[in-house]
Amino acid sequence: MTKTKTLLTLLFIAAMMGSCSKKNENKSPDDYKTLIIGTWKITRIIQTTYIDGVKTKEDIKGPDEVGEGVITFHKDGSVDPSTDGSSTYSIEENKLTINEGGEDPVSEVFDIVSLSKTQFDIQIITEFTVDHKANKNVVQQTFTKIK
């Protein structure tokens, strides 16, 4: 599996796992587009599961448990790692979309929870029904800027 697809897979798996809530510090999308440029390392994943509106599980993975996931956002809208140079990202409002081209195109949309010069948090919420009960998984990922 390519590095890009591996990272997107990690992001997706993390998204299926949980979250906590923070405010996005009232930054504008233009601020996000500038602040996100650089190289970031994933440092924490929080996965929270709710069953019928009740928090039933929270799993927190720190720096020693999340692996070596590194992603670079470039000013031209490209993102690394990318095996064929076709990975891109875009930001609209507080949504970060990562698109992986190639033979099996994949797009993931994340909510930007917070973004500063040194750290950003994104989350994805997956809602589903089991036994006629509303359930959801909220996954929040924290990245720290390394370049």
| 123: Cβ contacts below 8 Å, ≥ 6 apart | 15, 19, 110, 111, 113, 138, 139, 140, 141
Q: What is the DSSP letter of 118?
A: S
Q: Which residues pair with 55 in a beta bridge?
A: 50
pLDDT at 44: 93
Q: Which residues pair with 35 in a beta bridge?
A: none
What are the structural domain ranges in the chain?
3-145
Q: Which CATH class is domain 3-145?
A: mainly beta
pLDDT at 83: 57
Per-residue pLDDT tens digits of the chain, which is 147 residues long: 444 444 444 444 444 443 334 444 456 767 899 999 999 999 999 999 999 888 999 898 887 787 778 899 999 999 987 656 678 999 999 999 999 877 778 899 999 999 999 999 999 999 999 888 889 999 999 999 998
